[in-house]
A and B are shown apart, each in its own frame.
Chain A
Amino acid sequence: MTTPLLTSTRRVFELALGQMLWARRTALLALAAAAPVLLALVTRLTLSSGSAVVQINGRQIGSEAVFSTAIAALYLRFIVPAIGVFYGTSLIADELEDRTITYLFVRPIPRGAIVLGKYLAYVVCVTSVVVPSAALVFLIMVPFQAMAPQFGAFVRNLGVLALGLAAYGAVFLWASVLFRRPLVGGLLFVFGWEQLAAVLPGYLGRLTIAHYLQADTTSVAALLTTTIAALWLAMRTIERREYVLDR
């Protein structure tokens, strides 16, 4: 007799969250989250002292603009996809690689709960690191008197960051359920296809997740649909698939 899906999901979530937060991989996540904060500190101090100006692509920018650029160039273009691919592909693939998936499969819980619980743990783990990091960058970079006009965009950006992490995680979780070594394919997708499609003319850009990392209704709907569809496919695949573990 198996335990109901939600109860099982909660158990897997609690177990996976603890493992995920204190794993070695979290060092990468902490680095990714701390780098923009440090960069913001240095930039703000430099700009405040007036000793230098910040230029990106030859453009001199103020501290408020640095925040927008950090969100667009650092978080949405690099940190979110990178974390999505590294964490998402490892959620199930690591259990297969380490041959520990058996211990989860022999438990009286639905296999879908393993995927769902691990995915929710991933979402909580990465959003609890990346979103506060972006919030700190906002606090550091934007002077209090200039915060008001940027507050709306800041909240929307945090939402987009969370949705992006959720979407990338779900897609690569599905890849992790489908393939034995999904990391290489994931990296090619994120840093190959997505970058290429962004500069190609026509509608190819719409076949990427990065295209929808925007705070408009269509993009939010696309990200939510992608997340739910990928998660459902991952749960369905793991329920039906036979895994043969290497000896």
Chain B
Amino acid sequence: MKKRTRVFLFAAAGVLIASLATGLVAWATRVSAAAATDELAYVPATALMVAYADVRGLMNSPFHDRIRQLQRTGPAAGSDDLEARTGIRFDTDVDSVLVASTGVDALQERVEGSLLIARGRFDAARIESLMRSRGGQVDQYRGKRTVTLPTATSDTALAFAEPGLLLFGPQMTVRGALDASAGAAAAIGSNREFMALVNDVSDGTAWSVAKLDSASGRSPFPPAVMNQLPPINWFAASGRVDTGLHGRLRAQARDVQSAESLRDVVQGFLALARLQGARDPAYRSMLDSVALTADGTSVSLSFDVTPAALDLLTPAGPPPRGPATPQRQ
């Protein structure tokens, strides 16, 4: 083999190895970052759906300001409920929130209920005092202070798991989370398939992973919804928020044929949406950003909501140009 041939082959191998090494470093860095997500240690292995949101990142984003302009509504009903029961103000006290659900069984009954894990700045004494005034009972479970509020359907509990980390949900679910954290029960981290999908989406400002396989007799969504879906094993969604929203939805179908069917269904909906939104530049620009790809059993859909599209969606139009508004702390 001539020298120049050898040099060429080494150069080609070098480019390939450099690219693979760069990708591997990016992947490994991301895996360790996802593994460091302390909240996941509290999620039991039985969870079928996990959703996470970087509340601070969302609240401080220019995208959120635009959405507030667009909606002109108050805080969501869910946050009102949390504030009424615990005194926690969602938009100021919470930095990040993770919700884990064990799903519903065939009779549409929640198996254990949803667990909410919130990280932020909480006044434990004030929260405990408020809950006690509403009939809450304070006790200890696995060395953590918990406050349980008896309700008609099930007891709701709040646990101070770590400084700045709260667990909230049905008492059994909160105890299950503390069991998982203490190692007395398997945590979601032991589910490699689930964690692989979490690692795949956890770089987003908000993300969610759901297992839709009905082998366990449970599903994260009601059977009426599940019956309308093609055979999907896993569903993952992530969104990155800055001045706009960059979203990615990914479904893992049971087989290649199911993936093709799903892609066709989504394509059909997109075609319909394009037909309906063809005359509206705001919707058209959003629809133009939609990219649908299928790779084996995986179907992905990515989309962008650009600042320009948001300007068009905002009734008042684009915000006036002028001096920069002070950043929220």
Contacts and interface: CB of A to CB of B under 8 A. Distances in A.
Interface string B16-40: 1011101110110111000000000
Given A62-B304, A144-B26, A135 B295 contact: no
A144 B22 contact: yes
Interface in B196-220: 199-201, 203
Contacts of B70: none
Interface residues of B, number: 40
B13 A128 contact: yes
Contacts of B182: none
Interface residues of A, number: 44
A107 interface: no
A117 B69 CA distance: 68
Nearest to B196: A152
A135 B302 contact: no
B285 A60 contact: yes
Contacts of A144: 22, 26
A147 B23 contact: yes
B293 A68 contact: yes
Given A62-B246, A155-B20, A216-B297, A18 B1 contact: yes
A193 B1 CA distance: 39
B290 interface: yes
A61 B291 CA distance: 7
Interface in B288-305: 288-291, 293, 295-297, 302, 304
A146 B19 CA distance: 14
A132 B16 contact: yes
Contact of B19 (A72, A128, A136, A156): A136
A213 to B, nearest CB: 11
A118 to B, nearest CB: 15
A144 B23 CA distance: 8
Interface stretch (B2-10, B107-115, B133-141): B2-10
A217 B1 CA distance: 36
Nearest to A15: B1
Main secondary structure of the interface of A (DSSP, over half): helix
Given A68-B293, A147-B27, A60 B15 contact: no
Contacts of B13: 128
A202 interface: no
B205 to A, nearest CB: 12
Contacts, number: 104
A55 B288 contact: yes
A135 B15 contact: yes
A136 B295 contact: no
B304 A154 contact: no
Contact of A21 (B5, B24, B246): B5
B289 A60 contact: yes
A60 B288 contact: yes
Contacts of A139: 18-19, 22
A149 to B, nearest CB: 5
A151 B19 contact: no
A119 interface: no
Contact of B8 (A21, A55, A61, A149): A21
B16 A151 contact: no
Given A62-B302, A151-B26, A129 B19 contact: no
25 contacts: A14-B1, A21-B5, A59-B291, A60-B304, A61-B289, A62-B246, A62-B289, A68-B291, A132-B19, A135-B19, A135-B20, A138-B19, A144-B26, A145-B26, A146-B203, A148-B29, A148-B199, A149-B30, A149-B203, A151-B23, A151-B24, A152-B200, A158-B16, A215-B295, A219-B296
Q: In the A-B complex, list the 4 residue pairs whose CB atoms are closest, starting with the nearest.
A: A135-B19, A148-B30, A147-B26, A216-B296
